C-alpha cells in the first residue's frame, strides 16, 4: 500500500536519509525505529510532502505521490500525526476533532462518536480548550482528529514522546484497535511499545537502514543495541 524506494532526503549539504527502501502493506502495522537523528522523522516528512524528496520514489496505493503537496497527500487518505501533539489551542476538544473532517475529502470513516468510544478519557473534556489539556490528552486529540479525517493509512511520529508510562499504555491500547482497521507506520524510540503493536519493523542509524525484521526478531535486545550503537559498543553495553 505504501512503498518507499531509494529515498534520500537532504537538508543543505547534510543527507538525513540515505537510499531507504520500506514497504507497508494493507492490514499491517510497521515500526520505524532508531535513535535521535537517525532519519525517522525526515522519512515521514518526505512521505507526507513536508520536505522535498532529493531522490527516490514514494508510492501510495500504486500512485506516485513523490513531491506532491501535504494537502493533496492527506486528501488521498495518507494522514500524518506529527511529533509534538499539534492541536488548535483555542479550540475545544470537540472542535479539534471536527477539524479532521476537512481532510476527509468525502470519504466515510470514523465519527467523533467513534473517537469518544475509542478514547473515553476525552468525553469529560470535550468542551475544554486545547491549551488546557495535558500532553497525553493532546496526543489523544491529535490521534482522534486524524481518525475523523478518514485515513486510509496513518503515519504516527513519536506518539509516546514525553508521556507517563500509564498514558503510553492508554495511547498504545487505542492504537492497537486502530491498527485492526487502518494500516499504520509508527516512528518511535520506545521500541517495547512499538514492537508490541507492530508486525514488522525497520531500524535506522545515521539515515541508513541498519536492520529489519519481524517484531519478534527485532525484540531481541542484542540485535537492537548492535544496530543503534555499532557491534563493538553493543558487546560492552
pLDDT of 162 reads 85
Residues in contact with 95: Cβ distance below 8 Å, sequence separation at least 6, in sequence order? 88
Give the range among 8-17, 67-76, 83-92, 170-179 with minimum mean pLDDT.
83-92
Q: What is the DSSP letter of 152?
A: S
Q: What digits encode the pLDDT tens for the residues 130-181?
A: 999 999 999 999 999 999 999 999 999 999 988 889 989 999 999 999 999 9
pLDDT for 230 beyond 60: no
As a whole number, mean pLDDT of residues 112-121 equals: 94
Would you say residue 102 has pLDDT above 90? no
Q: What integer pLDDT is reported at residue 224 of this predicted model?
A: 64
Q: How far apart are CA 204 and CA 202, in angstroms?
A: 7
Going by DSSP bridges, is the β-strand pair 153-157/78-81 parallel, antiparallel, or unpaired? parallel
Q: Could you give all domains of the chain from N- to C-terminal order, each with its CATH number?
A: 2-84+152-234 (3.40.50.300)
Going from the C-alpha of 190 to that of each of 36, 70, 149, 187, the distances in angstroms are 12, 27, 26, 9
Cell 508486525 belongs to 199
* Cell triple for 161: 514522546
Which triple of cell numbers denotes residue 55? 531522490
Amino acid at each position: 500500500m505504501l512503498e518507499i524506494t531509494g529515498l534520500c532526503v537532504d537538508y543543505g549539504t547534510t543527507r538525513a536519509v540515505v537510499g531507504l527502501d520500506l514497504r507497508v502493506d494493507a492490514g499491517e502495522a510497521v515500526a520505524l525505529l532508531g535513535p535521535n537523528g537517525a532519519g525517522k522523522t525526515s522519512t515521514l516528512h518526505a512521505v507526507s510532502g513536508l520536505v522535498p524528496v532529493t531522490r527516490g520514489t514514494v508510492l501510495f496505493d500504486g500512485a506516485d505521490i513523490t513531491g506532491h503537496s501535504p494537502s493533496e497527500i492527506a486528501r488521498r487518505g495518507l494522514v500524518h500525526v506529527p511529533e509534538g501533539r499539534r492541536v488548535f489551542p483555542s479550540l475545544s476538544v470537540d472542535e479539534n476533532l471536527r477539524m479532521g473532517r476537512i481532510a476527509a475529502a468525502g470519504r466515510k470513516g470514523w465519527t467523533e462518536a467513534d473517537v469518544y468510544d475509542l478514547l473515553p478519557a476525552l468525553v469529560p473534556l470535550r468542551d475544554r480548550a486545547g491549551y488546557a489539556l495535558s500532553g497525553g490528552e493532546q496526543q489523544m486529540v491529535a490521534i482522534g482528529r486524524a481518525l475523523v479525517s478518514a485515513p486510509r493509512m496513518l503515519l504516527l511520529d513519536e506518539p509516546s514522546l514525553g508521556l507517563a508510562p500509564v498514558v503510553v499504555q492508554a495511547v498504545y491500547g487505542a492504537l492497537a484497535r486502530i491498527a485492526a482497521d487502518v494500516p499504520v507506520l509508527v516512528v518511535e524510540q520506545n521500541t517495547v511499545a512499538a514492537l508490541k503493536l507492530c508486525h514488522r519493523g525497520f531500524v535506522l542509524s545515521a539515515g541508513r537502514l541498519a536492520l529489519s525484521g519481524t517484531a519478534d526478531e527485532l525484540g531481541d535486545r542484542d540485535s537492537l543495541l548492535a544496530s543503534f550503537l555499532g557491534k563493538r559498543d553493543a558487546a560492552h553495553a
